[in-house]
Structure 1
């Protein structure tokens, strides 16, 4: 029985075929919604990344036989980090738009001062932003968005295999253009409530001019607050299709970024 012998090239090839996909997966997990939330324990994230990398290995094509710690290996590592971050950031922008919409609604309701710790990102945000952020996360999971993330990650190795070539200038330009969804998406979600609350405030102003003896500060804030919560309740059914369109657009944008089209 002959002893098993492994050449340096074989060891390097096996190491690279697992290491570089793992780098891409972990880079995306660091920022992508659901998998990248701050409350998710780091050991669990690493375990999920390892298991997902093992599942993706059969889809790998022509992994370069390059030593990971060489100059070319470091270039490949940086490219995998950029690809993973770009994919995760494209989806995270949708959730940032929801948080910005919540902040705008909170300011219109007079709740801009009411801050709470966001369990998803670990930062202080207005309570309405936290509500919309949690709502968006639950909607995303109900849409099987977490499964779509895994599917897109597997397809990314077909669009951009592991190599020294990463996202091109066209892909970076697409990502920069997609960043505008923070503002357009926030406006699409928040504009009905903002306009309605503006009408409420104008009505209160007219009442104050007509009856100066009214104490606007004692009745205006409760009315605005109740109107805001009522509008938020009525808006939920309309927020769902807007959020779904933004998520679908985000996945389409990820494909364009990876393909550089």
Structure 2
């Protein structure tokens, strides 16, 4: 195909779209961890403690950045980088260089899978958020029962410490949850193409 012809430009656009979709699907996996970290940081009272995310150039909670760092290490430990290279190589068979690249149904499947990002983030954050919510409810009951206690002075350190403890205890559950998200993302990538959209 002549790269300067209409078909060549269309093929180039299709290949660019395929690359963007691959990166977008993997980025959503890590964004789920960022969402979980943001929810936990807000519950711990650390929503104000933020740092610049060098990848996106925006301020993010330190807890969210911590989860993303852990997820990156897990990605390497689970040989995600090798699997990604394998999927990229296989994509030339499942999505050959041709005019008919990604189907419209596959694009809608990718958009619909975005909800999985939020669901995954909530599932990861639920243990810590639930524990912190129960703690705040307990502080509210104590404040009503004994108003003379300055619960705010001790409430923040206790909430902070409890948040870190629950985060530490829930870390083992992060591995299978992240693995499931990653597996679903790779399955979605493999399902792209002209014949994609049969799943989901």
The normalised TM-score by structure 1 is 0.73
Q: Which residue of 1 aligns with 2:8?
A: 73
* 1:159-203: CA deviation from partner (whole Å, max 9, x where unpaired): 111011110112112111111112110111001111110000001
- 2:112 and 2:181 map into 1 onto residues whose CA distance is 14
Post-superposition offset of 1:105: 0.4
Q: Which residue of 2 aligns with 1:245?
A: 180
Greater gyration radius: 1
What is the number of equivalent residue pairs in this alignment? 196
Answer yes or no: is the 8 Å Cα contact 1:116–1:125 preserved in 2.
yes
Q: Which residue of 2 aligns with 1:200?
A: 135
1:221 aligns with one of 156, 173, 178: 156
1:142 aligns with 2:142: no
- Runs of 4 or more, structure 1, over 3 Å off, are 119-122
Q: Which one is further off, 169-178 or 113-122?
A: 113-122
* 1:6-59: CA deviation from partner (whole Å, max 9, x where unpaired): xxxxxxxxxxxxxxxxxxxxxxxxxxxxxxxxxxxxxxxxxxxxxxxxxxxxxx
- 1:215 and 1:104 map into 2 onto residues whose CA distance is 26
Answer yes or no: is the 8 Å Cα contact 1:103–1:126 preserved in 2.
yes
Q: Which residue of 2 aligns with 1:256?
A: 191
Q: Which secondary structure state, in structure 2, belongs to the residue aligned with residue 257 of structure 1?
A: coil
Q: Which residue of 2 aligns with 1:154?
A: 89
Post-superposition offset of 1:217: 1.7
Post-superposition offset of 1:254: 1.0
Answer yes or no: is the 8 Å Cα contact 2:51–2:62 preserved in 1.
yes
The normalised TM-score by structure 2 is 0.95
Answer yes or no: is the 8 Å Cα contact 2:25–2:110 preserved in 1.
yes
1:111 aligns with 2:46: yes
Post-superposition offset of 1:80: 0.4
Q: Which residue of 2 aligns with 1:168?
A: 103
Q: Which secondary structure state, in structure 2, belongs to the residue aligned with residue 124 of structure 1?
A: strand
Post-superposition offset of 1:143: 0.5
Distance 1:84-1:68 versus aligned 2 partners, 3 A rule: same
2:124 aligns with one of 169, 189, 192: 189
Is there any run of 5+ residues in structure 1 with no aligned partner, and where? 1-65
Q: Which residue of 2 aligns with 1:3?
A: none
> Aligned-pair RMSD on alpha carbons?
1.1
